[in-house]
Each structure stands twice: as C-alpha cells, then as structure tokens.
Amino acid sequence: MKSKVRMQYWCSLFTFAIGLLLVCGIEEKPSTAYFTTYASAKGGYELQAGTETEIEEEIIELTKHIRIVNTGKVDCFVRVKVFAGSLTPVSYLDDSGKWRLEGDGYWYYQDILASGAATEELAATIEVPAGMEDMMDSFDVVVIQECTAVLYREDGTPYADWERKIEAGEGAGG
C-alpha cells in the first residue's frame, strides 16, 4: 500500500513538473525572441543641411494667415500645402502676388528667402459647408511647409530642386 501511495506521489510530482516546464517553455519563447531580435547602435552623424524654416500661423475667424520664416543659415525656396478635409473647400488670398499655385497642390513662394527673412502672407480661408455652421470651432486646417536650398546653374541663375535628396556625407556635421 505504501508503494502505491509513493508511486501516486511521484506520478503527481512528475505530471506537475512536466506541466510547469510546458508553461515556462511556452512563456520563454517570446522573451527569448525579444532579446535575440533587439539591437542598438551607437554613434552616427547629425544632418545639417543648413535649410530650416518655421511656420508662423495666425488664425482670425475662418482664415489662417500663413508666413514662413527662414531660421536656417542659407538662403532657400519654400512651398506650402493646405489640407482642410474633403468636405471643406479652401480659398486663398495672396495680396503680395509672390505666391503661385502649381498643379501638385503646393503654393510656391517666388522669391528667394534669405536667412532670417519671412515670406509675405498667404491667407487660407475655409468655407463651412451648409448645415455644419454649428461645428465651426471643430474644423482643422493643416499647413505643410517645405524648404530647399537655393541651387545655381552654371550661368549663375538660381533654381529650386524639390526632388533633391541629401547624399551620404553631404551636409553631415561632425
């Protein structure tokens, strides 16, 4: 009788140990995978292309007054694009005549923007759709602005290359 109880004890202990191993084994795999796929890097280079701009926006009623300031170290060209949703038409006003709308939906500033200078204002006004007048405070107008350094052709004519990418080593600090 004693041997039967002892046998049941060992069988129970063995079953418990197998169960514990299975549970621990199942739980171990994700943590092992995490530690084996985790990687880190040290060092690197800070890119300093020299062209930096900041947007200045003033909102008066349903109009966003947009100006871009060149905070970088070099002269640049700038462009902006306005998003207001598919239900909200946007109209633009350029009193200066220095902004030009192109087919890609961007407004291009015609002058070279010197370091520290600001563009003339471009006003973007949303038109609230009929029946949505009570939601006037919930409309969001997003302005995307981009800049690119002024490049010069062989004859000295300035131009903007909006497709230009910074290559390895170009504009890298350090």
What are the pLDDT digits (tens) for 34-84? 444 444 455 554 444 568 899 999 988 889 999 999 999 999 999 999 988
Domain locations in the chain? 1-39, 53-159
pLDDT tens-digit readout, 76-126: 999 999 988 777 889 999 999 999 999 999 999 999 999 999 999 999 988
Regarding pTM above 0.85, the answer is: no
Query: What letter would DSSP give residue 92?
Result: E
State what percent of residues in the chain have pLDDT above 90: 45
Asked if CATH classification 2.40.30 holds for the domain at 53-159, the reply, yes or no, is no
Spatial CA neighbour of 90 closest among 68, 77, 107: 107
Note whether 84 and 139 are within 8 A (CB).
yes
- Determine the Cα–Cα distance for residues 27 and 31; give it in Å rounded to an integer: 7
DSSP line for 18-29: HHHHHHHHHHHH
